[in-house]
Amino acid sequence: MNNILVIGSTGQIGSELTFELRKRYGNNHVLAGYIIGAEPKGKLAESGPSAVTDVIDGTHVAEVVKEYKIDTIYNLAALLSVVAETRPRLAWRIGIDGLWNVLEVARENGCAVFTPSSIGSFGPNTPHDHTPQDTIQRPRTIYGVSKVTTELLSDYYHYKYGVDTRAVRFPGLISYLTPPGGGTTDYAVDIFYSAVRKQTFSCPIKEGTQMDMMYMPDALHAAISLMEADPARLIHRNAFNVASMSFAPETIYAEIRKLRPDFKMEYNVDPLKQAIAESWPDSMDDSAARTEWDWQPQYDITAMTRDMLDKLEQKLATE
Ligand code: NAD
């Protein structure tokens, strides 16, 4: 990776991934792609180059890739699960028509492409416990349908045209820097904001609903180390299961209460989020990622909770 383009650099993952890549590869080698209305701000804007990069306009993506001599694209443009259900046509245009444009540009310019999939690519008849790497993927949300298509289209470009496409299936991601963009697992971030602000948390997900989650530093590590991995070892491409922790609302609540004993939570279940959550895996088997590119997470629920509370407290104190 010499010159990297992060499309969707101002989102929850993109904002942190851009910083991490700039640390590793140099500020001027990582271009922050954004759309009008979601411009980079503060340190993200100041620390390196940025350019408008809308995946719906393929010609424009090609111009950006040529101008900055891009060889690696992290394509993070998407509508997340809950938002996508309310705007399915737009979700498809960004997630699939947009991906097609990115893959075409990559084919013409010899770029490697990372386009994340999700636990949302699984459906109600997928085995929920230790969900295998290769299994039934029949999701019933537009988000899930677009994620399965993302995986297939990315594999197609690899096998047909030799484009170096790779991806992981991210679980729900927990971070303190940029708020989540409207997904089913957002509650696992929101609960920390309530705990730090000493407010009662209203949980939209039912007690006992288990979902895979991951702390952002592990997610960034997964995205970068997969793209750095030796291609000769990769049997799979799009996309690898990656896992580090799996919990239900009462488990994360109990974990936070170990450190903030006065914290309170009540349930106020959102039927749309609950239905999506129930169709997703309880826990994933990520042995293929461990074998093929040495995936190894650093944070379990206890380490994540401690770090998240500390960092969020510092962040909110300065706002
Ligand atoms: P986000 O909603 O926070 O960010 C998405 C970014 O895409 C934003 O910066 C937005 O401005 C940009 N965007 C929207 N339309 C665009 C367009 N037409 N062209 C270019 N950019 C456009 O999402 P995120 O949480 O950062 O997720 C990034 C990717 O990771 C998505 O594919 C998402 O499905 C996947 N993922 C995220 C999670 C999670 O918990 N955050 C979990 C699993 C998978």
Q: Which two tokens stand for residue 276?
A: 């999506």
| 38 close to ligand 1 (CB < 6 Angstrom) | yes
Distances, alpha carbon 275 to alpha carbons 129, 162, 270, 271, 302, in Å: 18, 38, 9, 6, 28
Query: For residue 314, how far is its CA from the centre of ligand 1 (angstroms)?
Result: 26
Give the closest residue (by CA) to ligand 1 atom 2: 181
Ligand 1 atom with the shortest distance to the CA of 94: 18
* C-beta of 95 in contact with ligand 1 (< 6 A): no
pLDDT at residue 319, as a whole number? 78
Q: How far is the CA of 263 from the centre of ligand 1 (A)?
A: 31
From 76, 121, 153, the mutation candidate for ligand 1 (largest count of ligand atoms within 8 A of CB) is 76
pLDDT for 39: 96
The pLDDT, as a whole number, for residue 183 is 85
The closest-lying atom of ligand 1 relative to the alpha carbon of residue 170 is: 43
Residues with pLDDT less than 50, the chain:
none
Q: What is the pLDDT of residue 179?
A: 83
CA of 215 to the centre of ligand 1 (A): 16
- Listed in sequence order, the residues at least 6 apart from 269 whose beta carbon sits closer than 8 Å to its beta carbon are 203, 204, 205, 206
> What is d(CA 246, CA 244) in angstroms, rounded to the nearest whole number?
7
Buried b (16+ CB within 10 A) or exposed e, 222-253: bbbebbebeeeebebbbbbbbbbbbbbbeebb
pTM of the full structure: 0.95
Pocket mutation for ligand 1, best pick of 153, 166, 170 (most atoms within 8 Å of C-beta): 170
Q: Whose CA is nearest to atom 15 of ligand 1?
A: 77
Alpha-carbon distance 15 to 10, whole Å? 5
- Active-site residue numbers? 143
Q: What's the rounded Cα separation, in Å, for the pair 143 and 139?
A: 8
By the 8 A CB rule, do 265 and 203 touch?
Answer: yes
User: Which atom of ligand 1 lies nearest, measured to the CA of 182?
Assistant: 2
Q: Is 98 close to ligand 1, i.e. is its CB under 6 Å away?
A: yes
